[in-house]
Amino acid sequence: MSPLDPDVPPTGEEIHLPGGSIQPLLLAVGIAMSIVGITTSIVIVIAGIVLSVVVIARWIADTRRDISELPIEHHQ
């Protein structure tokens, strides 16, 4: 490093972005199935509700795992 190089400030904290996921699409499909099933068949309603509940549970579990992997100062 030469005396003419500008001082570089220290790097800030890392930005955490979650990875890509198909869960929002699957949740939308489950909700759409439930709504369409209201006018067609109770089986489609039940399948849509089951899909939605499973996706929501998985999404919450994935989010909890992502949060637990953050540095300790982010758990406030």
Q: Is 12 inside a domain boundary?
A: no
Q: Is 10 inside a domain boundary?
A: no
Asked if residues 51 and 33 have their Cβ atoms less than 8 Å apart, the reply is: yes
Q: Is 9 inside a domain boundary?
A: no
Give the residue numbers spanning the domain of 49.
23-66
Q: Is 75 inside a domain boundary?
A: no
- Domain tally for the chain? 1
pLDDT per residue rounded down to tens, the chain (76 residues): 566 767 765 666 666 677 789 999 999 999 999 999 999 999 999 999 999 999 999 999 998 988 888 777 655 5
Q: Is 50 inside a domain boundary?
A: yes
Q: Is 38 inside a domain boundary?
A: yes
d(CA 69, CA 67): 5
User: What is the model's pTM?
Assistant: 0.71
